[in-house]
Amino acid sequence: MALWLWALTLLDLVGSGVGLRSRKLDFFHSETELNHLVVDNVTGGVYLGAVNMLYQLTADLQLVQQVATGPALDNKKCTPPIEKSQCHEAVLTDNVNQLLLLDPLEGRVVECGSLFKGICALRSLSNISTRLFYEDSSGEKSFVASNDESVATVGLVSSTGPGERVLFVGKGNGPQDNGIIVSTRLLDRANGREAFEAYTDHATYKAGYLSANTQQFVAAFEDGQYVFFVFNQQDKLPSQNRTLLARMCKQDPNYYSYLEMDLECQDPGDRQSPPFGTCLAASVDSARVLYAIFSRDASGGGEGTRAGLCLFHWTRSMQDGGQRNACYTGSRESGRNTFYKAFHGEIQCGSHMLGASESFPCGSEHLPYPLGSRDGLKAKAVLQRGGLNLTAVTVTAEDGHTIAFLGTSDGRILKVYLAPDHTSTEYGSILVEINKRIKQDLVLSADLTRLYAMTQDKVFQLPVQECLSYPTCTQCRDSQDPYCGWCVVEGRCTRKAKCPRAKETGHWLWSRDNSCVTITSAQPQNMSRRAQGEVQLTVSPLPTLREDDELLCLFGDSPPHHARVEGDTVICNSPSVIPTTPPGQDHVTVNIQLLLHQGDIFLTSHLYPFYDCRE
């Protein structure tokens, strides 16, 4: 029996594998390289930023609109608008999409390209061909994104207060960039300022001349009154690569509230080596955990490459003001070892009253700012991979279980279950496009059923789960997919939400609980075919059953009859007709099946022997 079971499992695995590989994935193909992808959580629409092109797609990746954004005459040194007479070096230049964000509240898309010093446009969410705002002659105040294709720009559309929509931007700087690192931009004309101008004169952080560091931004996200940035920073003196988490109050026109601290992801698989150096992607979940992918070799690929996933519980340390208080009220000397002025060097800590960080949750002009702390967050990687890079991460929760989808440099999506005990299990993977790096924007669809994955020039939609493809409880269980469980009364492998009575005990058996309904024992263990009676079957786990569930007992080919349920035992009457005992044997084995709903749904089965004393 055991052998049979094993063979079945193997067959199942091969089957599903074949099925996956042979199945043609739905994808959208772009003529030019893709840069960014966002999803409208209301309509489910997908927006793509590509080189010289923007696309508006349906949730099923059907093209709705496309609009060209380049190429155009430009030179990185020149101030737009470009006039050939003023800018002799201007040549036809591609427009790389640097920033693509949605503002569903106002029904618009924010889009910035690498052309023209990184100026931006507002477009209609319902039709991206409609440009709501674009101004290329406003000069440097309108330069938002990095104009260097190799330097990342991240952003976030949010509000500083009621009704006031702003854009928070974090970016590094190429050689011909404007030096601005973090800025808050208006999205509407206000107080004589145009869209994309700085929110206030002080709402920018700029790199100093010959600044001591360069930044590569990874992610921006918000939580409550705060906006967060994750970025890599290369310090010149001392030379080191750092990954930083920065936080600012959204309502902070003077930028007094900025606080940054190190993020350190340690590689438990290699105790000798230093922590991972570069963060390649990051995502947050609703539980305020930051999932960040780190790499040892940012250049990607190769044998020496190691990548890992680290989880940071940032809320506590970033929000209780402990860090800031340590600087405000601590000693000047200890402050010097821990704190520094972000982007610019030294800071003077100390000499402020106790509780300064509580009194001034968003800092103040008299408190040191922008504050940087070397006393950052440390975590051990929950998952590591060698020989390839992890390039994208998105995290979702299904029934309280955390699932991470990780993109790889070799074109796969890894499905990872993250257990509450901080262990991780890769339970599956999907090959998207062989040896094509999965781009950083790995996004779930609005209804969370699909995952959009992007390669060089294709966008794929992948189902987050395929529970229904597992016909039996065993297959369902062996998938180990945290989305899936066996819906007992329906006899299908489903998401919990798709199982009508999942809330009732024993009705939805989660795959990762490794259980299916089985008969663990029968009383009596066997029965004489001449002296028949009731068979008491112990069923585990036995779902709670109602009258209309109609649990039937079926002995071999005998007509089914109603079973009686007492506690966790199911009582069946032995059949009137029992198959003949095979010659040479002293018993005959009959398969007892328990069926639900007039025999439509198979619950479980058991082989029961009837002996024959005459033989």
Partner 1 sequence: MGCFTRIVCLLWGVLLTARANYQNGKNNVPRLKLSYKEMLESNNVITFNGLANSSSYHTFLLDEERSRLYVGAKDHIFSFNLVNIKDFQKIVWPVSYTRRDECKWAGKDILKECANFIKVLKAYNQSHLYACGTGAFHPICTYIEIGHHPEDNIFKLEDSHFENGRGKSPYDPKLLTASLLIDGELYSGTAADFMGRDFAIFRTLGHHHPIRTEQHDSRWLNDPRFISAHLIPESDNPEDDKVYFFFRENAIDGEHSGKATHARIGQICKNDFGGHRSLVNKWTTFLKARLICSVPGPNGIDTHFDELQDVFLMNSKDPKNPIVYGVFTTSSNIFKGSAVCMYSMSDVRRVFLGPYAHRDGPNYQWVPYQGRVPYPRPGTCPSKTFGGFDSTKDLPDDVITFARSHPAMYNPVFPINNRPIMVKTDVNYQFTQIVVDRVDAEDGQYDVMFIGTDVGTVLKVVSIPKETWHDLEEVLLEEMTVFREPTAISAMELSTKQQQLYIGSTAGVAQLALHRCDIYGKACAECCLARDPYCAWDGSSCSRYFPTAKRRTRRQDIRNGDPLTHCSDLQHHDNHHGHSLEERIIYGVENSSTFLECSPKSQQALVYWQFQRRNEERKEEIRADDHIIRTEQGLLLRSLQRKDSGNYLCHAVEHGFMQALLKVTLEVIDTEHLEELLHKDDDGDGSKTKEISNSMTPSQKVWYRDFMQLINHPNLNTMDEFCEQVWKRDRKQRRQRPGHTQGNSNKWKHLQENKKGRNRRTHEFERAPRSV
Identity of the residue, 1 or 210, whose beta carbon is nearer to partner 1 in the bound complex: 210
Structure tokens at 272: 């000798």
> Which CB, 75 or 317, lies closer to partner 1?
75
- Nearer Cβ to partner 1 (78/100): 78
Smallest separation, CB 71 to partner 1 (Å): 21
Rounded to a whole number of angstroms, the minimum distance from the CB of residue 78 to partner 1 is 6
SS3 183: strand
- Shortest gap between Cβ of 72 and partner 1 (angstroms)? 17
CA distance 172 to 426: 34
Strand 339-341 and strand 371-380: pairing? antiparallel
Partnered with residue 36 across adjacent β-strands are: 49
* DSSP 8-state symbol, 190: B
Euclidean distance between CA atoms 52 and 130, whole angstroms:
16
**Closest approach of Cβ 96 to partner 1, in Å?**
22
**Cβ atoms within 10 A of the Cβ of 4, count?**
8
Residue 50: CB minimum distance to partner 1, A: 28
Distance CA 398, CA 493 (A): 15
**Is the preceding peptide bond at 541 cis, omega within 30 degrees of 0?**
yes
Quick one: 81 or 556, whose CB is closer to partner 1? Answer: 81
**In whole angstroms, how close is the CB of 326 to partner 1 at the nearest point?**
16
Measure Cα distances from 569 to 465, 506, 543, 575 in Å.
34, 14, 11, 18
- For 574, which DSSP code? P
Least Å distance, CB 371 to partner 1, is 12
Q: How far is the CB of 28 from partner 1 (least distance, A)?
A: 38
Beta strands in 419-480 (DSSP E): 424-431, 443-444, 450-454, 458-463
| Shortest separation between residue 302's beta carbon and partner 1, angstroms | 30
The whole-angstrom distance between residue 215's C-alpha and the CA centroid of its chain comes to 24
Judging by beta carbons within 10 Å of its beta carbon (0-12, 13-18, 19+), is residue 29 exposed, middle or buried?
A: exposed
Which of 253/463 has CB closer to partner 1?
253
Return the DSSP state at 9.
Answer: H
Nearer of residues 11 and 354 to partner 1, judged by Cβ = 354
- b/e code 568-607 from CB counts within 10 Å (16+ = b): ebbebbbbeebeebeeeeebbebebbbbbeeeebebbbbe
What distance in Å separates the CA atoms of residue 290 and residue 394, rounded to the nearest whole number? Answer: 10
- Contact between residue 370 and residue 258 where contact means Cβ atoms under 8 Å apart: yes
β-partners of residue 164 are 161
Of residues 166 and 349, the one with the C-beta less far from partner 1: 349
Which residues are paired to 522 by β-bridges?
A: 537
- Residue 605 is encoded by which pair of tokens? 């089965």
Nearer residue to partner 1 within complex by CB, 77 or 313: 77
CB of 354 to partner 1, least distance (A): 11
Q: How far is the CB of 360 from partner 1 (least distance, A)?
A: 10
Bond from prior residue into 524 cis (ω within 30 degrees of 0): yes
**Closer residue to partner 1, CB minimum distance, 43 or 86:** 86
Please state the closest distance from residue 351 (CB atom) to partner 1, in A. Answer: 5
Please identify, using beta-carbon distances, which residue of 100 and 181 lies nearer to partner 1: 181
Query: Where does this chain bind partner 1 (CB under 8 A)?
Result: 77-80, 86-87, 137-141, 179, 206-210, 344, 351-353, 364-366, 368
Indicate the residue among 136 and 297 with the shorter CB distance to partner 1: 136
Tell me the DSSP string of 354-370: TTHHHH-TT--TTS--S
Token pair, residue 279, equals 């963060």
Closer to partner 1 by Cβ: residue 260 or 490: 260
Among residues 345 and 599, whose Cβ is nearest to partner 1? 345
Nearer CB in complex with partner 1: 138/472: 138
Q: What Cα–Cα distance (Å) separates residue 208 from each residue in 184, 342, 468?
A: 18, 11, 57
Question: Tokens 């808050």 appear where?
Answer: 184
> Which tokens hold the place of 372?
């940087």
393: left (phi over 0), alpha (psi -120 to 50) or beta: beta
Biggest alpha carbon–alpha carbon distance for the chain: 112
- What b/e string do you get for 374-413 counting C-beta neighbours within 10 Å, with b at 16 or more? eebbebbbbbbbeebbbbbbbbbebeebbbbbbbbbbbbb
Minimum distance from residue 290 beta carbon to partner 1 (Å): 29
In the complex, minimum distance from the CB of residue 366 to partner 1, in angstroms, rounded to a whole number: 4
CA 469 distance to own-chain centroid = 23
